[in-house]
Amino acid sequence: MKKIILTGDRPTGQLHLGHYIGSLVNRVKLQNDYETYILIADAQALTDNYEHPEKVRQNILEVALDYLAVGIDPKISAIVIQSMIPEIAELTVYYMNLVTLARLQRNPTVKTEIKQKKFGASVPVGFLAYPISQAADITAFKADLVPVGEDQMPVIEQCVEIVRSFNRIYKPVLVEPKGLVAEVGRLPGIDGKDKMGKSLGNAIYLSDSADIIAKKVKSMYTDPGHLRVEDPGKVEGNTVFTYLDVFDPRADEVDKLKIKYKKGGLGDVVLKKRLTEVLESVIGPVRSRREQLAKDPAQIFRIIREGTERGRIKAAATMAEVRQAMKLDYFSK
């Protein structure tokens, strides 16, 4: 029997290059070898968008378009809407008894996101409990493998803790997942900050036009001390070189550019022109497929509905085992 992959995104905006290099590439590569479920985590998106449900609803279509445009095949990968799987919500409630408040507050992923969103003491309980909800996502499908960005590994670790607690207390029915981090664990934003993110306004999206890509690359952080072409420049921490290392297939040429940049004699304009061309070669085909798919939104929603139905069957089977293990199967024969 094939092992299972569970992965997904919160529909708070379109997907960007950080998603692409962080987990989307792995999803496409592995979908032929694993039973794959891709979750559109709309319930989790509401934890910090509860006043704007229309935004979450619209972005379900946008995220699905991104999935299909990069190469997710709906015939073999099920695209699932989280809120339409009630078993996930039920599991989340049960798991809350297995995790302390102090443990949630120590989770590095949650701490970082709370700081980024400037919640302070007003953090919603749903947001703080995000790792519990994600553990329910993963275990409802009995996922063996979870492709994630490097920053999400603490959430996977907490999921493993929950699985071990459940299996010890009740019955060993849940599967311990493993996180799969891409070769490039984290892509910095165009402003040079640690992470590319929708809420940080420093992302290049898979739907961006060629003009928008060029504009964003032009504003990209390089070396603030490299004021003139003839000045020696720093490669380390230079976001343009970071992106070239990730996306430019001609690594030998990039190495030569680094040498020239360090010595002096290579301007940022030339570097950014090259990066613009490289990124367009990556995003251009995705954008074209996305535009074609977007012409038939009804078909996209049919794909999502069918994937959700497949996901519901899988989650219901898991839930039956969980209820039996917890002595909650009151009406079973």
H or E element: which one contains 176? none
Over range 156-185, report the average pLDDT. Answer: 92
Please state, in angstroms and rounded to a whole number, the distance separating the CA atoms of residues 60 and 49.
Answer: 14
Tokens encoding 188: 């910095």
Domain residue spans in the chain?
A: 4-188+297-325, 210-291
- The neighbour count for residue 181, using CB atoms within 10 Å, is 19
Taking only the tens place, the pLDDT of each residue in 112-130 is 888 877 887 788 888 888 8
What pLDDT shows up at residue 123? 84
328, amino acid identity: L
Contacts 24+ apart (CB under 8 A), 297-303: 297/61, 300/61, 300/64, 300/65, 300/68, 301/61, 303/64, 303/68, 303/74, 303/79
Q: Which residue has the tokens 């039973």?
A: 35
Q: Are 243 and 279 in contact (CB under 8 A)?
A: yes
Give the distance, in angstroms, between the CA of residue 83 and the centroid of all CA atoms in the same chain: 18
Taking only the tens place, the pLDDT of each residue in 65-117 is 999 999 999 999 999 999 999 999 999 999 999 999 989 888 888 888 888 77
> Which residue has better confidence, 159 or 13?
159
CATH architecture under which domain 210-291 falls: Orthogonal Bundle (1.10)
Please state, in angstroms and rounded to a whole number, the distance separating the CA atoms of residues 276 and 159.
Answer: 39
What pLDDT shows up at residue 333? 66
Radius of gyration for the chain, computed over Cα atoms and rounded to the nearest angstrom: 22
Q: Phi/psi of residue 197, each to 5°?
A: -150, 150
Using DSSP's 3-state secondary structure scheme, residue 100 falls into coil
Q: Are 162 and 135 in contact (CB under 8 A)?
A: yes
pLDDT of 185 > 70? The answer is no
For the structural domain made of 4-188+297-325, what CATH number should be given? Answer: 3.40.50.620
pLDDT above 70 as % of the chain: 98
Nearest Cα neighbor of 72 from 7, 167, 138 is 7
Please, is 298 exposed, middle or buried when counting C-beta atoms within 10 Å of its C-beta (0-12, 13-18, 19+)? exposed
Please state, in angstroms and rounded to a whole number, the distance separating the CA atoms of residues 141 and 144.
Answer: 9
Let me know how long the chain is. Answer: 333
Q: Are 209 and 225 in contact (CB under 8 A)?
A: no
- The neighbour count for residue 277, using CB atoms within 10 Å, is 14
Taking only the tens place, the pLDDT of each residue in 258-314 is 999 999 988 889 999 999 999 999 999 999 999 999 999 999 999 999 999 999 999
Please state, in angstroms and rounded to a whole number, the distance separating the CA atoms of residues 163 and 200.
Answer: 33
The chain-wide mean pLDDT, for the chain, equals 90
Q: Are 185 and 150 in contact (CB under 8 A)?
A: yes
Please state, in angstroms and rounded to a whole number, the distance separating the CA atoms of residues 132 and 263.
Answer: 51
pTM: 0.88
pLDDT of 229 > 80? The answer is yes
Using DSSP's 3-state secondary structure scheme, residue 147 falls into strand
Using DSSP's 3-state secondary structure scheme, residue 36 falls into strand
Q: Are 149 and 23 in contact (CB under 8 A)?
A: yes
